[in-house]
Structure 1
């Protein structure tokens, strides 16, 4: 069974495949090639509702409830044990003979392997937790590193302590020292032998890139398929690094509000609307980095226990809709043993799950006060559009033109929350939404919708090129500013239902008085050599260059390549007729 089929089994996988939603879009940054998380992970995590008091019985009960509720049949398969399973003393983590954390036997008397075996017996997968560094107790005891002649003191940098939320007292590891990688390898082997299928490494920042690299290498070496997740609030400046090394990364701090009545803010409510709505901006800014093998993690999905989680039903639907549009992992934080029927209906809506699992992260195309619109194009040519009123009082009418979405003409519209076809809309769509409400639609372009837009920022481009927003009048989320060099290029992947000669229009800006000619090639063959892209008067003024090109049925590559040392003009989009 392929990894993708292994992930997307059952009715959900068949629905996605038949809808043509399983093909992967091109991405700018190289994704991790570990072969896992081809689609965002789905399951449950202990932190939101269990917090600092996990036990063996509690985790088993959640696994039982996952199966009893039937959520596993909708793709929710991970049962992830988060922090506070470890044993601590006055100096931090109690360690085993090789310097690795030990498990609190009072909370987990049967051990982690037995717990993982139980989760696996339910047809589910087991997730676990760690943070960077090496424990102070390991260094104080100078424990040996398994399988080597090295010891903890050989690899520890005791001048710096790592971020840790439980026992603290974690030193940095000096990865220039022999034995450092071997220490992480031994820890990863232990987790693999216990049956871990998902590993979250928490407290990660830019200074921890060596740890992220070491764990990536170690997990691969185990030979066990382990989904590798990073947390939390990772800097976007290092987004390409996270994408190269991991399968998901937390884009913001915790979604929990820590405003409950219990210790450390535990108990209900688990979150509030301000913690959810803060994700709209991060979903937009991180969008370019998501794709098969690596996902922007917006944190736990707080749906399952009704209004007591701190969100109204409208807000919970908006919560789910944003996560689905962002193609975020869907890891429930609620108590599955107390599943609310209203929320179960939300979570078992396969139309919503399909939006999350289509392998595409949506772009924000409207950002006007409380009015937000996100849009994405799926592999079958349909567009999924989410309209939101993010306010907390007062209804608002949210509108979007099909040209903003990326096509012209009319479209057949289906409401994805209800599954109801709402008719054909000529050039735009609007909805009057209550505060916190969303409208999620699928727009299927129909006869007369002859133009499909391919934004340059979503295309492939040569090294040294950047996606910029410092000029006005562009479409989408930016434009490509190529390197000033001969050979600089932008390459779009353009679909066609049939083999035909098709009109294409390239929107560009050239704020100089010198022409910036480019070769236009289709599927590797130049179809227009040294095509003129003359000055447009300013970098804020855009012009169109239209030509007819031969397209094959299916996917085609259309590349524009600068032929002089001045490079290419700024490139905004390609429209295909």
Structure 2
């Protein structure tokens, strides 16, 4: 999370994270019911889920490979921490789920030879969290065998309603549980204890409908009783009429059916493409309808992020950025559905954009203020008074000029605009903001009230002068511009920027750097040939994707200046991304 912590300062999020939703000044009706008080998911969950890509063929090896890739990609440092095993890990026979001695689903040992606990332990060893899957009810095989309910004198037949079958997508043959019967809650408790013993950190209950509210309530009680913090997610296409109940009992709830198109060439529509644009654009309406129910502790889940494997996933790069933007604005959980072992550089940058993640993690679900044809505008007010605004062209042909007035946004006077995808300041705007967008394109901006004085000037390291042996690299995500400078590991290695100043005087400059080693990499900072900060500390950032800012005040003359950062140890300088003058 080092990179996210750094981003919070740049994105003015720290205050938002410390304040309740009401303090943000957003115009929202109060939620009709209190959020779950289990203390979990104060911000939307982030991670990866097996369903979209792995689909019906999960294995222990595949899950470990995805966990390894989440680490290798650096996305875990951005906050993506859950590795969630979805459906089809179970063992089935002709009568449905094979069960253990207490009537609970048996794991297919051919797919998971080491067992679920060993898999969870492996994922935990990586500093990640493990998610799991279940559906409501009790298996037909448990009832046929009349298995005992662990720790009680009751048996499966005592609690099963065999006149009704629950929805299940795999082995089917799940009976309803009659919660008026003694032993019913104890059966769910037994299952929850097993999951907790295995090390489950996130539980998705699938196939939930309004008729399953007794199950949802029973699982809420059971998960709390384990004493283990388990993020509680409901799926899918839940009824908005029962939104107050979902909010009271769970940490997230799916607002629509699956985002996957099931239109790939493999069995059951598996393989690429995983989705299509219409599946994404259908989420705009549900996000608007459900907006009032989201808040700390409970989130509207728009389903998995179909980003990671380039255009083959079924979306263009513009559409994937719009996909990420909507999920961020809606404060939806960010659970990647693609193959993490084959991430493209473009998609790694989309998923790892700290400014987008900060918008998602601010704890505010945006509201829609423009919905006209292919034009959409969404906005949310943050704790520091900034307004984050997303503009979309949802069409598949033709450019659209999309606009929002400051009256619609609740902004009085001028506002300084920052493009949150690029991080660039685009100047001061009065009255309204408009942009011409390609089909499927989005623009995400932060509007800061007032003219804010002169805009900061950014100077990328890759366009600066640097010492021999230095290279411009792009292999560590999260940088600005086209790359960063990796200097030679030597005393005297340097990067020098040519910086303009409108007038003479002391000026704040910020150097953005990453130092993935355990030791500091101090540098001398010289202005116009004179050292003004000797041995300035550039401490470890934990990883090479953990970018951090160091700000210092230096004397500049009016006009052109040189600012040089020079390594003072044999390890050389840290990786340098840019210099920014206030």
TM-score by length of 2: 0.75
Alignment counterpart, residue 11 of structure 1, candidates 3, 15, 25: 3
Which residue in 2 is equivalent to 1:384? 388
CA positional deviation for 1:403: 1.0
Alignment counterpart, residue 417 of structure 2, candidates 394, 413, 418: 413
* 1:346 counterpart = 2:350: yes
Alignment counterpart, residue 21 of structure 1, candidates 16, 27, 34: 16
Conserved? CA contact 2:164–2:175, under 8 Å: yes
CA positional deviation for 1:14: 4.8
Conserved? CA contact 1:255–1:300, under 8 Å: yes
Question: For the residues of structure 2 that align with 1:62 and 1:278, how far apart are their CA atoms?
Answer: 29
Conserved? CA contact 1:47–1:333, under 8 Å: yes
CA positional deviation for 1:274: 0.4
CA positional deviation for 1:15: 3.2
3-state SS, counterpart of residue 64 of structure 1: helix
Which residue in 1 is equivalent to 2:64? 60
CA positional deviation for 1:347: 1.1
Which residue in 2 is equivalent to 1:242? 246
Question: For the residues of structure 2 that align with 1:394 and 1:213, how far apart are their CA atoms?
Answer: 48
Question: For the residues of structure 2 that align with 1:155 and 1:105, how far apart are their CA atoms?
Answer: 28
* 1:217 counterpart = 2:221: yes
3-state SS, counterpart of residue 126 of structure 1: strand
**Which consecutive residues of structure 1, in runs of 5 or more, have no partner in the other structure?**
1-8, 449-577
* 1:324 counterpart = 2:351: no
Alignment counterpart, residue 427 of structure 2, candidates 423, 426, 437: 423
Question: For the residues of structure 1 that align with 2:98 and 2:248, how far apart are their CA atoms?
Answer: 33
Which residue in 2 is equivalent to 1:442? 446
Question: For the residues of structure 2 that align with 1:219 and 1:199, how far apart are their CA atoms?
Answer: 9
Conserved? CA contact 2:237–2:255, under 8 Å: yes
Which residue in 1 is equivalent to 2:175? 171
Which residue in 1 is equivalent to 2:79? 75
Q: For residues 274-300 of structure 1, what are the alpha-carbon distances to aligned partners after superposition, in whole Å with 9 as ceiling and x for unaligned?
A: 000000000100000000000000000
Question: For the residues of structure 2 that align with 1:364 and 1:372, how far apart are their CA atoms?
Answer: 7
Which residue in 2 is equivalent to 1:143? 147
Conserved? CA contact 2:428–2:451, under 8 Å: no
3-state SS, counterpart of residue 200 of structure 1: strand
Q: For residues 527-550 of structure 1, what are the alpha-carbon distances to aligned partners after superposition, in whole Å with 9 as ceiling and x for unaligned?
A: xxxxxxxxxxxxxxxxxxxxxxxx
Conserved? CA contact 1:24–1:291, under 8 Å: no
Question: For the residues of structure 2 that align with 1:351 and 1:172, how far apart are their CA atoms?
Answer: 45
3-state SS, counterpart of residue 162 of structure 2: strand
Alignment counterpart, residue 309 of structure 1, candidates 306, 309, 313: 313
Which residue in 2 is equivalent to 1:454? none
3-state SS, counterpart of residue 21 of structure 1: helix
In the TM superposition, what are the counterparts of 1:483-562 in structure 2 within 5 Å?
Answer: none
In the TM superposition, what are the counterparts of 1:179-218 in structure 2 within 5 Å?
Answer: 179-218=183-222
Which residue in 2 is equivalent to 1:487? none
In the TM superposition, what are the counterparts of 1:104-183 in structure 2 within 5 Å?
Answer: 104-183=108-187
Which residue in 1 is equivalent to 2:489? none
Question: For the residues of structure 1 that align with 2:201 and 2:407, how far apart are their CA atoms?
Answer: 43
Question: For the residues of structure 1 that align with 2:180 and 2:88, how far apart are their CA atoms?
Answer: 30
**Which consecutive residues of structure 2, in runs of 5 or more, have no partner in the other structure?**
23-29, 453-582
CA positional deviation for 1:410: 1.1
Conserved? CA contact 1:16–1:358, under 8 Å: no
Q: How many residues align?
A: 440
Which residue in 1 is equivalent to 2:90? 86
In the TM superposition, what are the counterparts of 1:20-39 in structure 2 within 5 Å?
Answer: 20-22=15-17, 23-26=19-22, 27-28=30-31, 29-39=33-43
CA positional deviation for 1:408: 1.4
Alignment counterpart, residue 276 of structure 2, candidates 261, 272, 276: 272
Q: For residues 14-69 of structure 1, what are the alpha-carbon distances to aligned partners after superposition, in whole Å with 9 as ceiling and x for unaligned?
A: 53366323123034231000000000000000000000000000000000000001
3-state SS, counterpart of residue 376 of structure 1: strand
TM-score by length of 1: 0.75
CA positional deviation for 1:109: 0.2
* 1:397 counterpart = 2:401: yes
Conserved? CA contact 2:138–2:177, under 8 Å: yes
Alignment counterpart, residue 290 of structure 1, candidates 261, 274, 294: 294
Conserved? CA contact 2:52–2:338, under 8 Å: yes
Conserved? CA contact 2:295–2:364, under 8 Å: yes
Name segments (4+ residues, structure 1) moved above 6 Å.
Answer: none
Which residue in 1 is equivalent to 2:303? 299
CA positional deviation for 1:101: 0.2
Question: For the residues of structure 2 that align with 1:447 and 1:254, how far apart are their CA atoms?
Answer: 44
Question: For the residues of structure 2 that align with 1:336 and 1:14, how far apart are their CA atoms?
Answer: 24
* 1:253 counterpart = 2:257: yes
3-state SS, counterpart of residue 264 of structure 2: coil
CA positional deviation for 1:262: 0.2
Conserved? CA contact 1:175–1:210, under 8 Å: yes
Conserved? CA contact 2:7–2:355, under 8 Å: no
CA positional deviation for 1:447: 6.0
CA RMSD in angstroms, aligned pairs only:
1.0
